[in-house]
Structure 1
Amino acid sequence: MAQQRSTLKRSLGLWAIVGLGLGYMTPTVVFDTFGIVSIQTDGVVPLAYLVAMVVMGFTAISYGKMVRVFPSAGSSYTYTRETMHPGLGFLVGWSALLDYLLLPMVNALIIRIYMEAMVPDVPGWIWVVLYVAVITGINLWSMNSTAKLNSFLVVFEVTMIVVFIVLATVRLSQGMGQGTIFTLQPLFHHGVEPVAVLTGATVVCFSFIGFDAITMYTEEAKDQKTMPRAILLTLVIGGAIFFIAGWFGQSVFPNVDNFKVTDDTLPEMALYVGGQIFQIVFVAGAFAATVASGLASHASVSRLLFVMGRNGVMRPQRLFSYIHPRFHTPAFAVVVVGAVSLLAITPSLELISSMINFGALVAFTFVNLSVIAYFVFRQKRYKTVKDVLSYIVLPLTGAGLTSVLWAFLHADALIAGGVWLAVGIVYLAFLTKGFRRKIGDFALEEAPDADYDGGPSDGGSGSDTLLAKGAAEPEPDLIS
C-alpha cells in the first residue's frame, strides 16, 4: 500500500500559536486555585507564580533550542528519540501521553460539572457526549478553524480577567482588602516561609503547561522559525496574566477567611468584587476558558499520536499516521482522543487531576537533557563560555529545578505514572520482540513530507526528524 501523501497544512501564524498555548494554559485557573495556593503560601499567591515562571523559563529555553533543530510535531518524544535513543524516546512520548491524553478528558469533566450544576435534570453523560462531539469535529475539520475559535475564547476570558482587575481596583479604593494596590503585602509580609512559597510554586507550575504543548504545532506553523519566539511569548504572557491577576486577587483578599469554598474560589471572588451579574459573566469566562483548553489540548495530543504513528510505535501504524486529504488533519488520532475523552462520563475530577502531572515532568526533564545530548555530545559545543552557559548550565538548571517539582509530586501521580510507564515498557517489549528489534525499523518506508531529511539517532529511520538546515549554526540571542 502506498503511503498517504497528504501532509499537515502550514496555516498557523505566530499569534495563532501563542493563542493556542494560552488557551491550553487556561488563564482563569488562577482564580480557581487561588484559595488553595493562598493557604499554602500564607497569602503570597503572586510570588508563587513569579517563582514558577522563573522555574519554567529554563525549560522553555530548552524547548526553544530543540524545536529549531527538530521542527517536528513530536516535541519531547522526537527530541529524546533523535538525541539519545529511539526506545527511550518512545518511553518519554508514552509518559507524556498520560498528561496530554488526560487533559482533554479533564476539560470534558469540568464541562460536565458546570452543566450538571446549571441543568441538574439533564443526565451528565449527555453534556460529555455533546461537548466531545463538538470539540472533536472542530479539530477534525480544520486546524485553522480550531485556532480561530480558540483565539476568540482566549480573548473573551482575558477580557473578563481585565474587568475583574478594574472592579478589584474600585473595591480597593473603597477600602476592601489591603485598601490599595501600592503594597508589597502580596509579595512578602511577616510570617511567610520560603518552603511555603516553594510548595505553592510547585502547584501553580502546572498552570504553565501549554508553552510546551505548542511545539506539537511545529509542522503547521507558517514559518517554523517563529516557534522559539512563540514558546517564550506564551510563557511570558501567561505568566504576566497569572501574576497580575494573582496580585489584585491577593490585594482584595489578603486571606481566605470569608470564602465558603476554598477548593474553587472563582465564583465567590467574582461575586465579592462585582456582584451576582458579574459572577454569572465571569463564570461564563471560565466556561470559555475550559472550552479553549479543550480545543488546544485535543489538537496537541492528536499531533503527538500522529507522529508516534508515523514512526510506527503506535498501532495500527497506517491509521495513526493518516492525514485526511481534504482537511489536512490527523483524522484517526483526533477521533481516538475524542473517544478517550468520553471516559469523562464517570470519573471524578480529583482522580483524573492527580494523574496528569507525571507525563509533563518526564517531558520537561528529557527536553533539558536533550539539549545537552545534542549540542554537547553530538555537536561538541562546549569550548566557549557562551556554549557552556547555553548548552550545559541553563539546561542543567532547568533539569535541576524540574527535579524539585518531582520531589513535591503527589503520591497518586507517581503511582499512576509508574503503572502507565510499566505498561509502556511491556508494549515496547512486544513491539521489539523482546527488545531484539530496533524500534527505528518500524517507521514508514517513505517520508510523509519532502522536508524530512533523516535523523541522527542510532537505529532511527529518519522518517520523523525534520532537521533544520544549518541547525549546527549558532542560534539567535533570544534562545542562546
Structure 2
Amino acid sequence: MENQPTLKRSLTLFQVVFLGLAWMTPMIFFTSFGISYESSKGMLTVAYLLAFLAIFFTASSYGKMAKAFPVSGSALTYITKVMNPFIGFLVGWVILLDYLFSCIIANLMFGINLHAQFPSVPSYIWIILLDIVLMVINIIGIKTSANISKLFVCIQIAFIALFCILVFHNLLQNDTSVHLAGPFAMGDSITFSTILAGASIICFSFLGFDSITAMAEETINPKKNIPRAIMIIISVAGILYFSTSYFLQLAYPELKFSNPDTAGFYVANLVGGKILGSIFTTVLVFAVFTQGLSSVATVTRLLYVMGRSAQLPKKSFGYLHPKFRTPVFNVVLVSVISLLGLFISLDTCIKFVNFGALTAFMFVNLSVILHYFIKEKRRTLKGIIAYLVSPLIGAGFIFYLLTLLDKDSLLMGLSWLALGLMYSLYLVARKKKRALVKEQENVTVTVE
C-alpha cells in the first residue's frame, strides 16, 4: 500500500504569527474606527484595553488546548477529543461560518476598495481576480502564503507606525497643554457600562488568533509554537491598537465625522493630508489581500480535518495533492463559494462570522475546564486559576457578547446549526445502517 500524502510540517513560529496577524488584519483599527469610536463614546483607549483583557482569557484557553492536542482542526478537534464527536462536529460546522464568510468578506472588501480607487473597473472584476490569485497561491503551499503574509503584514505595521509618528508630530506642534491621562478620563455623561459596550464591539478586532490552530500539523513543534504564537499575535495587536488610539486621543481629544464607515479614511487625511490618505487606501488593499490569503488557508485545513475523519466525504475533502501536499479540492471549493461576494452583502457576512466565532470561543473555554480541571484533576491553587477561573471569565464574556448579537445574526446562525444537526443525524443513521449490513453479512458467512 502506498503511503498517503500528509500535510507538510514547515511553518516556523514567526511564519505562523504572521499568518495569524494577516487573518486578524492590523488595519482593522481604521476600518472599524468609526463604529468603535461612537460605541465607546470617544473612550477608545480604555475600550481597547478592556477588549484586550477580555479576549486574553479566551486566547489563553486556545493556547492550553493547542498544547494538549497539537493537531489541526482548531475547536472541532478540541471539542471532539474532550466532549464527544457529535458536539465536536456541530462546533466545527458552526465555525465554518466564521472561516468561510471571512473569505467572502475579503473578496467583497477588495472589490469595494479597488472600485473606489478605479471607478471605471467594476468591483466584480476585482473580486474574481482576487479569488483566482488566492486559489493559486493556496494550492502551491502554506509556506508561500506565510511568506506573502509576512511582507504585507509588515507593510501594515509600518503604516501604523508612520501614522503614530505623524500624530505625535502634530501633538508637538500643538500649543495647548497635553494631559497624558486625558484618554483615560471619563466625562460626567459617560458610564463604565457604556465603555464596556464599546469594548464588546472592539473585541471583534482581535478575531483571528484562533485561525492558526487549524495549521498545527503544518507547524514545527506545534505543542510549543502554537500557544506561543497565539499570545504573540494578541499582544502585538493589543500594542498596535492601544498605542494608536492613545496618541490619537491625545492629539485629537474630540473627533467628529459624518460617516462612521469612512471615519478611518477621514482620520488618515486629518493626520497626514491627502498623501497619507492615498497611502492608507493602498495599504488597506494589501491588508484585505493577506486576510483573504490566510482565511482560505484556515478554512481549507478545517475542511480537510472534517474529511479525514469522514465527517465530510473523505475521498474529496480528505484529499491532499501528492506534490504540493495541500487540500486542492477544498481550495477550489472555497474559491467557488467565495464568489458569493458577487451577490451577498457585507452586513450579512459579518453576522455569520460573529455567530460562528463566538460559539467556538465559548466551547473552547468550557473544554479547558472539562479537560484539565475535571478529567485531569489539576486542582492546585495554580490549577484552579489557570483551568477554572480563567476559562470561566473567558466563557462569561463570550456569553455576554453572544447576547449582544441581533436577531438576524442569531436566526441565520441557528439555521446553519440546524442544517448541520440534520446532516450529523444522517451520518449517524448511515453509520448504523452500515454496521447492521456488516453484521448481517457476518451472520450469513457463519451460517454458510
Instruction: Provide the TM-score with structure 2 as the length reference.
Output: 0.93
Q: Tell me the distance in 2 between the aligned counterparts of 1:361 and 1:328.
A: 31
Aligned counterparts, 1:12-411, within 5 A: 12-175=11-174, 180=178, 182-190=179-187, 191-224=189-222, 225-257=224-256, 259-315=257-313, 317-382=314-379, 384-411=380-407
Give the counterpart letter for 1:313 in structure 2.
Q
C-alpha spacing 1:3/1:192, structure 2 compared with 1 (3 Å) = farther
- In the alignment, structure 1 residue 418 sits paired with structure 2 residue 423: no
C-alpha spacing 1:136/1:4, structure 2 compared with 1 (3 Å) = farther
Deviation of the 1:135 alpha carbon = 0.9
C-alpha spacing 1:35/1:219, structure 2 compared with 1 (3 Å) = same
Once the two structures are superposed, residues 443-465 of structure 1 have per-residue CA deviations (whole angstroms, 9 ceiling, x without a partner) of: xxxxxxxxxxxxxxxxxxxxxxx
Does the 8 Å contact 2:114/2:285 carry over to 1? no
C-alpha spacing 1:8/1:110, structure 2 compared with 1 (3 Å) = same
Q: Tell me the distance in 1 between the aligned counterparts of 2:100 and 2:355.
A: 12
Give the counterpart letter for 2:335 in structure 1.
G
C-alpha spacing 1:327/1:267, structure 2 compared with 1 (3 Å) = same
Structure 1 SS opposite 2:184: coil
Give the counterpart letter for 1:272 in structure 2.
L
Structure 1 SS opposite 2:429: coil
Q: Tell me the distance in 1 between the aligned counterparts of 2:315 and 2:255.
A: 54
Q: Tell me the distance in 1 between the aligned counterparts of 2:75 and 2:370.
A: 13
- In the alignment, structure 1 residue 427 sits paired with structure 2 residue 426: no
Does the 8 Å contact 1:13/1:221 carry over to 2? yes
Give the counterpart letter for 2:201 in structure 1.
V
Q: Tell me the distance in 1 between the aligned counterparts of 2:109 and 2:330.
A: 23
Q: Tell me the distance in 1 between the aligned counterparts of 2:177 and 2:204.
A: 31
Q: Tell me the distance in 1 between the aligned counterparts of 2:85 and 2:374.
A: 17
Higher helix share: 2
Deviation of the 1:193 alpha carbon = 1.2
Deviation of the 1:354 alpha carbon = 2.2
Alignment size in residue pairs: 433
Q: Tell me the distance in 1 between the aligned counterparts of 2:424 and 2:137.
A: 33
CA RMSD of aligned residues (A): 1.9
Structure 1 SS opposite 2:337: helix
C-alpha spacing 1:172/1:332, structure 2 compared with 1 (3 Å) = same
Once the two structures are superposed, residues 300-322 of structure 1 have per-residue CA deviations (whole angstroms, 9 ceiling, x without a partner) of: 1111111011111112x111111
Q: Tell me the distance in 1 between the aligned counterparts of 2:133 and 2:418.
A: 34
Give the counterpart letter for 1:171 in structure 2.
N
Deviation of the 1:88 alpha carbon = 0.2
Does the 8 Å contact 2:71/2:217 carry over to 1? yes
Once the two structures are superposed, residues 379-412 of structure 1 have per-residue CA deviations (whole angstroms, 9 ceiling, x without a partner) of: 2222x22222222111112111211111212322
Give the counterpart letter for 1:129 in structure 2.
I
Q: Tell me the distance in 1 between the aligned counterparts of 2:42 and 2:93.
A: 38
Which deviates more, 91-100 or 371-380? Answer: 371-380
Structure 2 SS opposite 1:263: helix
Q: Tell me the distance in 2 between the aligned counterparts of 1:340 and 1:3.
A: 33
Aligned to 2:439: none
C-alpha spacing 1:204/1:436, structure 2 compared with 1 (3 Å) = farther
C-alpha spacing 1:405/1:179, structure 2 compared with 1 (3 Å) = farther
Aligned to 1:458: none
Structure 2 SS opposite 1:302: helix
Give the counterpart letter for 2:332 in structure 1.
V
Deviation of the 1:438 alpha carbon = 11
Once the two structures are superposed, residues 348-402 of structure 1 have per-residue CA deviations (whole angstroms, 9 ceiling, x without a partner) of: 21222122100111111111111111123322222x2222222211111211121
Deviation of the 1:95 alpha carbon = 0.5
C-alpha spacing 1:3/1:57, structure 2 compared with 1 (3 Å) = farther
Q: Tell me the distance in 2 between the aligned counterparts of 1:109 and 1:139.
A: 19
Structure 2 SS opposite 1:183: coil
Does the 8 Å contact 1:4/1:323 carry over to 2? no
* Fraction of identical pairs, as percent: 39
Does the 8 Å contact 2:113/2:281 carry over to 1? no
Deviation of the 1:110 alpha carbon = 0.3
Q: Tell me the distance in 1 between the aligned counterparts of 2:38 and 2:264.
A: 15
Once the two structures are superposed, residues 236-292 of structure 1 have per-residue CA deviations (whole angstroms, 9 ceiling, x without a partner) of: 1111111111222333333332x2322231211111111111111121111111111
C-alpha spacing 1:425/1:203, structure 2 compared with 1 (3 Å) = same
Deviation of the 1:179 alpha carbon = 6.0
Structure 2 SS opposite 1:97: helix
